[in-house]
Amino acid sequence: MSRFADHLIVAPILLPLLAGAIMLVLGGECRRNVNAAINVVTSFSLLCVSLMLIRTVDVGPAGVTGVYRLGDWPAPFAIVLVVDRLAALMVLLTSLLATAAVVFSLARWHRVGVLFHPLFQFLLMGVNGAFLTGDLFNLFVFFEVLLAASYGLALHGSGAARVTAGMHYIVINLAASLLFLIGVSLIYGIAGTLNMADLAARIPAIRTEDRALFEAGASILGIAFLVKAGMWPLCFWLPATYAVAPPPVASMFAILTKVGAYIVLRLWLLLFRPEAAASTQFGADWLLWGGIATIVFGTIGVLASQDMARLAAYSVLVSSGTVLAAIGMGQPAITGAALFYLVSSTLGLSAFFLLVELVERGREPGADMIAVTRELYGEEGDVDDSTEVGIAVPVTMGFLGMAFIGCTLIISGLPPLSGFIAKFALLAAALGSPSAAISTATWTFLVVLILAGLAAVVSLTRAGIHAFWASPERTVPRVRLIELAPVILLLLLCGVQTIQAGPVMRYMQATAQSLHVPDDYIRGVLSPVNGRIDHRKGGA
Amino acid sequence: MEIVLALGIGVLAGSGVWLMLGPRTFQVIVGLSLLSYGVNLFIISMGRLGTGGAPILAEKTAGAASQFADSLPQALVLTAIVISFATTALLLVVLLAARGLTGTDHVDGREPEA
């Protein structure tokens, strides 16, 4: 591995950090255009970096391909960054969403509050760091970075509804962070290490009398992540916060629930692998049934939602419940399908959050939640006329309608788009499980998954008819190209995922395989002869 | 020493949880602060309790692990203190904003109908 490729691993953390710091130094709202330019450039370079990372990872062998030792200390003594297939995939997904969201925000949303661009970059830094780190406490730090940035972004634009929902969000996440600390310190007290790979290697040696305490620590840690992932009954904060967050922010928040799911996936499969003896697949039933309960709760919410932003927020719950339940089944084939579903549904939901604002813009003010955002633009007309950004799109309603149909297909899982392939793969993998008899839990999962799809079709169709056909008094919204383009881009990516389903699914299955047999990961992180230290010792 | 620390953590965490379940935003923020003090003490206790341990043993002295002071939990606590201080300050600003916008200090943004 060349020196340049070595340092590529740390780039997804350093780039946003530098960009955010530069924006803060430049300072202030008078330089908003400069900040916007920096934000766009950084987001695009992050996209390039993550594409390069995923290419490096994909050609490499199954296990770890990149370990970056911060400060050049060997692994258990210092913090490492690890990039494997899963981490590279999640970083790529993040940068895709970020690019779309930042382009969308340029039309007007970055003007409704202060410091949008720096906070956005710090959010990216936290998310990428959480995906790349190989150390539990470092994970806590990156978690706090992304949470702190998300607090600011959730409140972007202010208003009573946002501040109240944001306050609930902050309090609950602070409490979850404290649980995270308790879990981490219990695990450290028992195992004596915080490096994830080292931890996995030490678990088989934990004494029987200490095992209960270790499992208690892991459960408390798990609760902190499940709050983030939005598992029922830890998810009541989520719909309110997501529904009132500014659209570009809400579309980035679609990845935040997946951060929780990602860490559950990574840590659970790493710590409770078959070698962990008595602790193998500890808590699988909790994940499975909790995930199913989340899907049910989300589905009820989807059916009950009157406005589209809430509908989108409840769809986030359905998506994260599906991923958690699929992880809980603990089989490589299902995990692979769940990863495919995760990518497809995150892209679809992110597009939907952006689309909702465009569609609702034409509705009468005061109709629903948009009233909250409407009152923020005191002199909206003046601002829009004087600082027209980009060109208006012709045949607006036609484009919006097509995009809406695309989102509906992806979220509900109807053919021909990627949502269908994802759900089909999940169902096929669950039915084709190696054990002869399919358990009650699997049948429940299958039924609930299909019913959730039906409920999504029902309520999205209802919302679509209400928005596009049944309101003759509405004015046609003015939508600019830079607002519609990100939505179309995200949907096109789902299209690409559909057409290239074979290669994408092969990548996901390889990822799932290496997650379920993490020996390569552990060996790669802990081996002293790897990467740069190796070169230097050879030279000396 | 163990019993004193355990009682301290228990009282802090218990009163923190109690206050956090209250309906007023000020109770919530005080509760969160108390809870974070409890958690910080808990982290320290996870590095084993003891006094007078050396961070680094002198050169060429044989030593057992029990003679060391575990420095990692101290580093963790330092980080946790800084982070919880910063987030508490942020929460305080949000509480004031919520008080100003909704006119009440109830966590739901409106007084419950009696």
- Please answer whether residues B44 and B77 qualify as being in contact, where contact means their C-beta atoms are separated by less than 8 angstroms: yes
Mean pLDDT, range A198-211, rounded to an integer: 86
Going from N- to C-terminal start, the domains of chain A cover 288-364+395-499
Q: What is the CA radius of gyration of chain A?
A: 23
CA angle A298, A302, A305 (to 5 degrees): 130
If you measure CA to CA, which chain A residue comes closest to B76?
Answer: A137
Q: Count the helices and strands in chain A (H runs, E runs).
A: 23, 2
pLDDT digits (tens, 9 = 90+) for B48-106: 777 777 777 777 777 776 777 778 888 889 999 999 888 889 889 888 888 888 888 88
Is the confidence at residue B18, as pLDDT, over 90?
A: yes
Tell me whether residues A159 and B101 touch, CB distance under 8 A: yes
Residues of A in contact with B83 (CB under 8 A): 141, 144, 177
Peptide bond into A233 cis (omega under 30): yes
CA distance B94 to chain A (A): 6
If you measure CA to CA, which chain B residue comes closest to A186?
Answer: B46
pLDDT digits (tens, 9 = 90+) for A104-152: 888 877 777 778 888 899 999 999 999 999 889 899 999 999 999 999 8
- Residue A406's nearest CA partner among A469, A492, A310 is A492
Tokens of B95: 């509480």
| Rounded distance between C-alpha atoms, residue A19 and residue A145, angstroms | 15
Residues of A in contact with B88 (CB under 8 A): 174
B80–A contact, CB cutoff 8 A: yes
Amino acid A243 reads: A
Residues 6+ away with beta carbon under 8 Å from A506 = none
Within 10 Å of residue A37's Cβ, how many Cβ atoms?
A: 13
Tell me whether residues B107 and A171 touch, CB distance under 8 A: yes
Per the document, the length of chain A is 540
Tell me whether residues A177 and B108 touch, CB distance under 8 A: no
| pLDDT for A220 | 93
Residues of B in contact with A184 (CB under 8 A): 76
Residue bearing the bigger pLDDT, A308 or A530: A308
Residue bearing the bigger pLDDT, A132 or A278: A132
Spell out the domains of chain B, with CATH numbers in brackets: 2-49+70-102 (1.10.287)
Tokens of A496: 């690409």
Residues 6+ away with beta carbon under 8 Å from A263 = A130, A139, A225
pLDDT digits (tens, 9 = 90+) for A347-389: 999 999 999 888 877 664 444 444 444 444 443 443 444 444 5
Question: Concatenated DSSP letters for A73-130?
Answer: --GGGS-EEEE-HHHHHHHHHHHHHHHHHHHHHTTTGGGSSS-HHHHHHHHHHHHHHH
Phi–psi pair at A82, nearest 5 degrees: -125, 130
Query: Among A237-251, A477-491, B11-25, which range has the highest average pLDDT?
Result: B11-25
CA B72 to chain centre: 17
Residues of A in contact with B43 (CB under 8 A): 181, 185
pLDDT digits (tens, 9 = 90+) for A285-338: 888 899 999 999 999 999 998 888 889 999 999 999 999 999 988 888 889 999
B78–A contact, CB cutoff 8 A: no
| Rounded distance between C-alpha atoms, residue B30 and residue A525, angstroms | 41
Residues of B in contact with A170 (CB under 8 A): 87, 90-91, 94
Within 10 Å of residue A74's Cβ, how many Cβ atoms?
A: 13
Residues of A in contact with B79 (CB under 8 A): 137, 140-141
CA distances, A376 to each of A161, A273, A469, A483 (Å): 12, 51, 28, 19
Tell me whether residues B91 and A148 touch, CB distance under 8 A: no
Bridge partners (DSSP) listed for residue A133: A81
- Which residue in the set B46, B86, B107 is minimally distant from A185, CB to CB? B46
Residues of B in contact with A189 (CB under 8 A): 46-47
Q: Which of A163, A237, A244 to mutate to test the interface with B (most CBs of B within 10 A)?
A: A163
CA angle A352, A378, A161 (to 5 degrees): 50
Residues of A in contact with B106 (CB under 8 A): none
Q: Which of A133, A146, A173, A178 to mutate to test the interface with B (most CBs of B within 10 A)?
A: A178
Tell me whether residues B91 and A188 touch, CB distance under 8 A: no
The secondary element (H helix, E strand) that includes residue A252 is helix A247-271
CA distance B67 to chain A (A): 16
- Please answer whether residues A133 and A13 qualify as being in contact, where contact means their C-beta atoms are separated by less than 8 angstroms: no
Tell me whether residues A151 and B90 touch, CB distance under 8 A: yes
pLDDT digits (tens, 9 = 90+) for A430-473: 888 766 567 888 888 899 999 999 999 999 998 888 887 776 55
B87–A contact, CB cutoff 8 A: yes
CA angle A210, A276, A509 (to 5 degrees): 145
| pLDDT for A535 | 37
- Least reliable range by pLDDT among A7-21, A108-122, A218-232, B90-104: A108-122
Residues 6+ away with beta carbon under 8 Å from A105 = A116, A120, A246, A248
- Please answer whether residues A358 and A392 qualify as being in contact, where contact means their C-beta atoms are separated by less than 8 angstroms: no
- Which residue in the set B25, B36, B42 is minimally distant from A185, CB to CB? B42
Tell me whether residues B87 and A175 touch, CB distance under 8 A: no
Tell me whether residues B35 and A178 touch, CB distance under 8 A: yes
- Please answer whether residues A93 and A101 qualify as being in contact, where contact means their C-beta atoms are separated by less than 8 angstroms: no
Q: Which of A181, A184, A190, A221 to mutate to test the interface with B (most CBs of B within 10 A)?
A: A181
| pLDDT for A472 | 57
Residues of B in contact with A115 (CB under 8 A): none
pTM: 0.88
Question: pLDDT tier at A30 (50, 70, 90 boundaries)?
Answer: low
Tell me whether residues B35 and A175 touch, CB distance under 8 A: yes
- Residue B70's nearest CA partner among B38, B48, B42, B43 is B48
- Least reliable range by pLDDT among A40-49, A111-120, A260-269: A111-120
Question: pLDDT tier at A536 (50, 70, 90 boundaries)?
Answer: very low
Is the confidence at residue A516, as pLDDT, over 70?
A: yes
| Rounded distance between C-alpha atoms, residue B6 and residue A174, angstroms | 23
